[in-house]
């Protein structure tokens, strides 16, 4: 009897094939899921890295406002193409996902467009781009300064560092010891889990878009609701949001040390601290230990605020009509209104003369009762006290209305991109050649031209040899007595007075001594990155 060999029937074979297919499908799905998770991880990693890059762009393009789509940030190392209408098409370094941003040339266009544009999907936002659009590389800086002042700065990773005199806790590092080198701002406590985005004096905006300050608080300078002896803080504390700032976030901050003002998310201005001659702008001359609203019933009625600068004696803004308004002391024409009376509410800067037919792009207040603007013609106009030549018009005559800074000589054929002023009375600018030029008081080397003493009532060239190595500059800021700049490679430099403490630029060095223990650098010196 023959035994039949056992084999697969057709039904059994089909069952085996189906099982194999199911197992293969499970394998593919599992692999796809793992691959997608890996891809998502790369995208998220890329995206998380560009926060500092986009922050740097915003910090160095103060006349522009940036909004982005599809995620909280755009990937570091991404390439983007900007179209004629300022849309941008961004592809990640891993080529896994597209993002879109829009750069707004004015804050008013940002405000009016914000709702519509943030609702668009990336594909729709990018649809207007084509191959003819210019390609621009965006790379998150791996080192250097994101923002820099004369005694504090923000490193590219969002961490704060300060140096120099620490008598009132101005360094924010948890003690009151002076430091000849850069020392880390205390990032626990109120700043736990946060990074810093912008800084002015000893106040900063953090990644939660709230304001934090440290140091002196005798006149309510910290904005925490208390003031007086014993209330100073050597670590950052949160500015009060219990009153007029309730429900609002902070977009810009400017501090003179004695008082601070911010532009909030409602595009109005709020100030606190010392109210000398009404420079808090609320119609009183009473100090405030918490933020108060700047008066908008008069010259600012119906307007919002685009830019703000606080000085020792006055505060000035650019409003949504692209004109300048100031308040505070007016003894030397500080308010630019062609008068002599102080004002505790905003008044319009006179625009019937040198500023006729022009709008305002940038504004700064100098500590010695001078203010300057960059107008729509990309020239600089100043007004106020001019005994040290800080108006820059070739005279030493006080100007109660704006006068044009001399644009012959070293500025011949150049326009101006950024301006800054030091409380010592120097005013500086970055011109279209990306080099620095200064005018005004040079008592402690504030002009940066290799000399100290005297003054100049016309712009002079900052010495670009030595440590600064003829680098191109992209950002400028003024402080209590010095001016600082960030170069295109993110290195930072300062010049001017260092006060009575060595290493006041964070480099543990002493430069020129005026014979009274006051040190200064009359050329740009490197602020070491920690």
According to the model, what pLDDT value does residue 15 have? 59
Pairwise pLDDT comparison (217 vs 82), residue with the higher score? 217
- Please check the confidence at residue 330 and state whether its pLDDT lies above 90: yes
Whether residues 77 and 158 fall in one domain: no
Which has the minimum average pLDDT: 50-59, 199-208, 452-461, 494-503? 50-59
Question: 325 lies in a domain?
Answer: no
Establish how many alpha carbons lie within 13 A of residue 524's alpha carbon, considering only the half-sphere containing its beta carbon. Answer: 30
List Cα–Cα distances, 66 to 52, 57, 77, 109, 126, in angstroms.
Answer: 13, 9, 18, 11, 15
What residues are paired with 101 via a beta bridge? 68, 88
- Please check the confidence at residue 77 and state whether its pLDDT lies above 70: no
- For 400-431, the pLDDT digits (tens) are 999 999 999 999 999 999 999 988 889 999 99
Question: 301 lies in a domain?
Answer: no
Q: 38 CB contacts (<8 Å, ≥6 apart)?
A: none
Q: Contact, 390 vs 322, CB < 8 A?
A: no
- Please check the confidence at residue 511 and state whether its pLDDT lies above 70: no
**Over residues 448-465, mean pLDDT:** 94
According to the model, what pLDDT value does residue 161 have? 95
Whether residues 107 and 220 fall in one domain: no
Pairwise pLDDT comparison (168 vs 55), residue with the higher score? 168
**Over residues 162-185, mean pLDDT:** 91
Domain limit, last residue, from 264, 294, 324: 294
Which has the minimum average pLDDT: 264-268, 435-439, 476-480? 476-480
Q: Contact, 404 vs 415, CB < 8 A?
A: no
List Cα–Cα distances, 149 to 126, 130, 470, in angstroms.
Answer: 37, 41, 20
The C-alpha atoms of residue 168 and residue 186 are separated, in whole angstroms, by 15
Please report, rounded to a whole number, the percentage of residues in the chain having pLDDT higher than 90. 56
Closest among 73, 122, 132 to 98, alpha carbons compared: 122
Distance of CA 486 to the CA centre of its chain: 12
**Over residues 321-330, mean pLDDT:** 97
Residue 57 sits in which domain range?
A: 48-137
- Please check the confidence at residue 107 and state whether its pLDDT lies above 80: no
**pLDDT band at residue 132 using 50, 70 and 90 as cut-offs:** very low
Q: Contact, 281 vs 345, CB < 8 A?
A: yes
Which has the minimum average pLDDT: 17-21, 83-87, 240-244? 83-87
- Please check the confidence at residue 181 and state whether its pLDDT lies above 70: yes
Question: 389 lies in a domain?
Answer: no
According to the model, what pLDDT value does residue 25 have? 53
**pLDDT band at residue 149 using 50, 70 and 90 as cut-offs:** confident
**Over residues 500-504, mean pLDDT:** 53
Question: 270 lies in a domain?
Answer: yes
For the chain, the distance separating the N- and C-terminal CA atoms, rounded to the nearest angstrom, is 94
According to the model, what pLDDT value does residue 424 have? 81
Question: 520 lies in a domain?
Answer: no
Which has the minimum average pLDDT: 6-20, 246-260, 346-360? 6-20
Whether residues 158 and 129 fall in one domain: no
**pLDDT band at residue 22 using 50, 70 and 90 as cut-offs:** low
**pLDDT band at residue 455 using 50, 70 and 90 as cut-offs:** very high
Greatest Cα pair distance in the chain? 129
**Range picked from 2-16, 116-130, 177-191, 500-514 for highest mean pLDDT:** 177-191
What residues are paired with 429 via a beta bridge? 419, 437
Question: 322 lies in a domain?
Answer: no
Closest among 3, 15, 116 to 69, alpha carbons compared: 116
Residue with tokens 């910290």: 222
CATH assignment at residue 288: 2.130.10.30
According to the model, what pLDDT value does residue 517 have? 54
- Please check the confidence at residue 102 and state whether its pLDDT lies above 90: no
According to the model, what pLDDT value does residue 163 have? 87
- Please check the confidence at residue 214 and state whether its pLDDT lies above 70: yes
Whether residues 98 and 217 fall in one domain: no
Residue 454's Cβ-count burial label (10 Å; 0-12, 13-18, 19+) is: exposed
Question: 234 lies in a domain?
Answer: yes
List the beta strands (DSSP E) in 84-226: 87-91, 98-104, 134-137, 145-148, 152-155, 160-164, 179-184, 196-200, 203-206, 211-215
According to the model, what pLDDT value does residue 19 have? 61
Beta strand 436-441 with 426-431 is antiparallel
Q: 32 CB contacts (<8 Å, ≥6 apart)?
A: none
- For 331-377, the pLDDT digits (tens) are 999 999 998 889 999 999 999 999 999 999 999 998 789 999 999 99
Number of domains, the chain: 2
Whether residues 126 and 200 fall in one domain: no
Mean pLDDT over the full length of the chain: 78
Domain limit, last residue, from 294, 324, 343: 294
The C-alpha atoms of residue 3 and residue 304 are separated, in whole angstroms, by 98
pTM: 0.75
Whether residues 204 and 95 fall in one domain: no
Whether residues 90 and 206 fall in one domain: no
Please report, rounded to a whole number, the percentage of residues in the chain having pLDDT higher than 70. 69
Q: Which two tokens stand for residue 125?
A: 């936002």
> What HEC string does 243-282 produce?
CCCCCCCEEEEEECCCEEEEEECCCCEEEEECCHHHCCCC
Q: Contact, 236 vs 212, CB < 8 A?
A: yes
Which has the minimum average pLDDT: 55-69, 164-178, 269-283, 311-325? 55-69
The C-alpha atoms of residue 105 and residue 377 are separated, in whole angstroms, by 16
**pLDDT band at residue 9 using 50, 70 and 90 as cut-offs:** low
Question: 417 lies in a domain?
Answer: no
**pLDDT band at residue 462 using 50, 70 and 90 as cut-offs:** very high
- Show contacts of 428-431: CB within 8 Å, 24+ apart: 428/462, 428/476, 428/478, 428/483, 429/380, 429/459, 429/476, 430/473, 430/474, 430/475, 430/476, 430/485
Q: Which two tokens stand for residue 35?
A: 């691959």
Whether residues 55 and 172 fall in one domain: no
Rg (CA), the chain: 28
Domain limit, last residue, from 109, 137, 165: 137
Whether residues 154 and 133 fall in one domain: no
Whether residues 174 and 220 fall in one domain: yes
Whether residues 77 and 200 fall in one domain: no
According to the model, what pLDDT value does residue 131 have? 36
Whether residues 131 and 221 fall in one domain: no
**Over residues 81-105, mean pLDDT:** 41
């Amino acid at each position: 009897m023959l035994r039949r060999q056992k084999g697969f029937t057709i039904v059994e074979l089909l069952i085996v094939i189906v099982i194999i297919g199911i197992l293969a499908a499970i394998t593919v799905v599992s692999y796809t899921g793992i691959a997608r998770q890996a891809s998502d991880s790369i995208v998220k990693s890329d995206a998380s890295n560009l926060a500092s890059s986009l922050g740097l762009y915003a910090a160095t393009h103060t006349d522009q406002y940036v909004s982005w789509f599809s995620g909280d940030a755009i990937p570091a190392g991404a390439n983007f193409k900007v179209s004629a209408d300022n849309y941008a098409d961004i592809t990640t370094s891993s080529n896994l996902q597209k993002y879109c941003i829009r750069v707004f040339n004015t804050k008013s266009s940002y405000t009016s467009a914000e709702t519509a544009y943030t609702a668009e999907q990336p594909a729709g936002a990018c649809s207007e781009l084509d191959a003819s659009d210019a390609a621009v590389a965006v790379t998150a800086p791996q080192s250097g300064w994101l923002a820099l002042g004369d005694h504090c700065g923000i490193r590219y990773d969002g961490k704060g560092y300060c140096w120099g005199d620490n008598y009132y806790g101005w360094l924010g590092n948890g003690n009151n010891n002076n430091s000849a080198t850069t020392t880390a701002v205390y990032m626990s406590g109120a700043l736990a889990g946060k990074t810093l985005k912008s800084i002015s004096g000893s106040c900063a905006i953090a990644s939660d878009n709230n304001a934090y300050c440290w140091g002196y608080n005798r006149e309510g300078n910290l904005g925490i609701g208390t003031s007086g002896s014993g209330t100073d803080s050597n670590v950052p504390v949160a500015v009060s949001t219990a009153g007029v700032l309730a429900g609002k976030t902070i977009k810009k901050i400017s501090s003179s040390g004695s008082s601070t003002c911010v532009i909030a998310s409602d595009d109005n201005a709020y100030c606190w601290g010392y109210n000398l001659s009404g420079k808090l702008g609320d119609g009183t001359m009473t100090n405030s230990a918490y933020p108060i609203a700047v008066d908008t019933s008069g010259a600012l009625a119906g307007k919002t605020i685009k830019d703000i600068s606080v000085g020792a004696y006055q505060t000035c803004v650019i409003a949504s009509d692209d004109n300048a308004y100031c308040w505070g002391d007016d003894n030397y024409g500080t308010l630019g209104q062609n008068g002599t009376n102080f004002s505790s509410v905003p008044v319009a800067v006179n625009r019937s003369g040198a500023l006729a037919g022009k709008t305002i792009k940038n504004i700064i207040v100098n500590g010695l009762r001078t203010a300057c603007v960059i107008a729509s013609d990309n020239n600089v106009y100043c007004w106020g006290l001019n005994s040290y030549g800080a108006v820059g018009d070739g005279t030493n005559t006080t100007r109660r209305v704006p006068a044009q800074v001399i644009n012959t000589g070293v500025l011949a054929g150049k326009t101006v991109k950024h301006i800054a002023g030091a409380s010592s009375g120097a005013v500086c600018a970055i011109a279209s050649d990306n080099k620095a030029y200064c005018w005004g008081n040079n008592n402690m080397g504030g002009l940066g031209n290799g000399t100290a003493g005297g003054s100049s009532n016309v712009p002079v060239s900052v010495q670009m040899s030595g440590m600064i190595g003829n680098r191109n500059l992209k950002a400028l800021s003024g402080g209590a007595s010095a001016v600082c700049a960030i170069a295109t490679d993110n290195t930072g430099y300062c010049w001017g007075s260092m006060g009575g403490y060595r290493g006041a630029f964070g480099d543990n060095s002493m430069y020129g001594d005026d014979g009274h223990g006051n040190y200064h650098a009359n050329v740009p010196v490197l602020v070491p990155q920690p």
